Chains A and B, each alone.
Chain A
Amino acid sequence: MISRTRLHGLVFVATATAIVMWLSFNFSANLAARGMTIDFGFLSAPTSFPIGESLIAYSSGDTYLRALTAGLLNTIHLALSSIVLATVFGIAVGLAARIGHPLLTSAAKTYVEFTRNVPLLLILVVCATAVRGLPAPRQAWILFDGVILSSRGLYLPMPVFSGGWALGIAAVILASTTSVVWKWSLRGRSRLGSFPFASRISLTFCVAGFASLVVWICLTTSMDWPRLTAFNFRGGWSVTPEYLAMMFGLGFYTSGFIAEIVRGSLAAIPKGQSEAAASLGLSTLLSLWLVQAPQAIRLTLPPLANQYLNLIKNTTLAVLIGFPDLVSVGNTALNQTGRAIETVSIYLLIYLSLSLITSMIIRRLERRAQVVKL
């Protein structure tokens, strides 16, 4: 005798399968009727368009796959820096709301209401207009020697290692030997109560190695200073106005939500906890830090994951202010090749993967933050 729940399950699976089959049949029939095919072959074809900024070397003539990868890395780069910014500001504002000082509380409240109630697009457009309104390169603001702010972005001097690959390899080898030696020496210490002779020698060796590495870096490093050419600055390390606008806009907007999550989670901790902390003589700050925050983290993580997912998806608005994220580069690729369905399915797959990875990471953190049952 089949149970009712199982019967419902079977009906559901059958219906879902039928609907999916019907949709895919329609999809392919409609494609055939319009004479369209699906072909991802364009990914290995050479491009003929530029990308404004890229973390990997890219120039026209590289493959579409590389162009899309450059866009994806820009998306991840932007998402990560915005997440850091939003989290730092969010936690700060959330804590400020709980400290109990009336001025701080109302300031935090205003901040939250403002960021949460202004549409993100508006914030981004305002940010973009603000950074573009900076003076032209020839009238740029020189904040410090080599730190230049203009409508072309923020330029900083950049250290250049001429040591190259050898330097990186040496650093990796040194770091791994150090960690092995360190563990070994700790093990020795717990057994003998003091550093054994062998570990002392290897420690000396490690310290000497690090010292020579530092000297080597200093000797082989030169600074690349930004300098003014006919129109723009060249050289140095630069951040474009579009990147700045996106990072601040997304960070600012999301921090309001995060602040509210932090405040709410702290408020959800039973009052007895803070009263107990106070009766032990802990100050408000210490009580927040040592007693309330560790408990609140468990409540914070799930809604925080939602905010991170939203932020990652909101990076696609970059296309409106000209930051070459995945969608912006993909739209150009789509236009050059006419491969709309393929490009859009690549977007879907990538944003789905980014979201799944983010929630996986947060779920791990949640597991670590769980109360240990005795």
Chain B
Amino acid sequence: MNAFRRTSANLLGCIAAIAAAGALLAPVDASAGKVMDGIRQKGNLVCGVGQAVPGFSAPAANGDLAGIDIDFCKSMAAAVLGDATKVTYRQTSYSDRFVLLASGEIDVLVHDTTTTLNREGAQKARFTSPNYFDGYTFMVAKSLGVDSPDKLADATVCILQGSTFEVNTENFFKSRGLKYTPLVLGTWEQLDAAFFGGRCDAFGGNYGNLAGSRAAHGNASDYIIFPEFITLEPYAPAVYGGDDELFLTARWVMFALVEAERLGITQANVKEMATSSTNPEIQQLLGKTPGNGKDLGLPEDWVVKVVSAVGNYGESFERNLGKSSPLMLDRGLNALWTKGGLMYAAPLR
């Protein structure tokens, strides 16, 4: 009798455990092309963003996340849902971000992410045009007396895992026949601690990210970031392949932000421009001349909502990365094409 009781107890235990596991692995509705419907249905956009990446996605003084990537999330919510606050931010690590995008945990990935062929071809991410052009370089302490990345032979280099940085660093040192020791860590916070704690001689990263770390650290004048870019790193928002509607929205929201800057539409004047501007380009962009909204399946005033929420691209840049931010970055490559930069918008018509 005892044996029987024990067997049935074991049996019940096993079944309970398997049922619990089953609940976790239950089927999810993941049919392709439905991401946009899902966003509309729940009235909320899940945005995958960085963990404490100053200038891109980091908590501001008031505790809310701020940065140029956060602004893009708000723009998307403003365009699709008419309300920039309807965003759930999901702070993800560099290693997890594409897995979360592929599994549908996040709708849009805006995570200082470089567009690469493998990420589009093999990992099915679909990138819009870049929201920030960056370049890979190194930061070192001034006290080391190194004035060029070519003099970093035998250095220990702090590198972020899950980014393009590991490959950039390897290619750089290998092509010059120099030896180095990598220290690979998963988050900016860990890298910051290791580099500023003296564990590494050089900190490999994109200029914008390095400038963010240096600004957050305080005594910025003790460190130099080499101005030579080793690679071009175009950061762009991404969605998962298979939902054209969402992809087109993301792509044209990015263009709209840039076009608004070129046309002089700002957060302050957008409402007034929408009603009183006589410029046909502005009238079409802001929906006074209808058509753009219908083509994308959005309300005609979508650009008004976007610019009211975050301003134009230039305003967003200055607030998060430019002269009115701790990072103090120049526009550089990120200036409009009319001002010698790479930022352009395809015609919004």
Contacts and interface: CB of A to CB of B under 8 A. Distances in A.
Tell me whether A and B are bound partners. Answer: yes
A335 B155 contact: no
Contacts of B171: 48
A49 B32 contact: no
B167 A35 contact: no
Interface string A209-243: 00000000000000000000111101000000110
Contact of A49 (B22, B94, B103, B167): B167
Given A15-B18, A328-B184, A334-B95, A151 B198 contact: yes
A229 B21 CA distance: 55
Contact of B170 (A23, A60, A229, A335): A60
Classify chain B's interface size. 35 or more
A35 B32 contact: yes
Contact of B4 (A4, A321, A331): A4
B268 interface: no
Given A5-B7, A334-B95, A35 B124 contact: yes
B14 A12 contact: yes
Given A19-B22, A34-B103, A332 B161 contact: yes
Contacts, number: 144
B185 interface: yes
B290 interface: no
B334 interface: no
Contacts of A35: 32, 124, 241-242
Contacts of A230: 151, 153-155
A36 B186 CA distance: 25
A49 B166 contact: yes
B8 interface: yes
B11 A232 contact: no
Q: How many A residues touch the partner, as a band?
A: 35 or more
B273 to A, nearest CB: 42
Given A19-B22, A26-B26, A337-B122, A132 B199 contact: yes
B186 A320 contact: yes
B194 A231 contact: no
Interface string A150-180: 0110000000000000000000000000000
A234 to B, nearest CB: 6
A94 B22 CA distance: 43
Contact of A34 (B3, B102, B162): B102
Contacts of A48: 166-167, 170-171
B326 interface: no
Contacts of B144: 231
Nearest to A51: B182
Which of A34, A48, A234 lies at the interface centre, i.e. has the most chain B CB atoms within 10 A of its CB?
A34
Interface of B: 3-4, 7-8, 11, 14-15, 18-19, 21-22, 25-28, 30-32, 94-95, 98-99, 102-104, 118-119, 122-124, 144, 151-156, 161-163, 166-167, 169-171, 174, 180-186, 190, 193-194, 197-199, 201, 240-242
Those 3 A-B pairs whose CB atoms lie nearest each other, nearest first = A338-B123, A49-B166, A335-B162
Interface of A: 4-5, 8-9, 11-12, 15-16, 19, 22-23, 26-27, 29-30, 33-36, 48-52, 60, 129, 132-133, 136, 151-152, 229-232, 234, 241-242, 319-322, 324, 328, 331-332, 334-338, 340
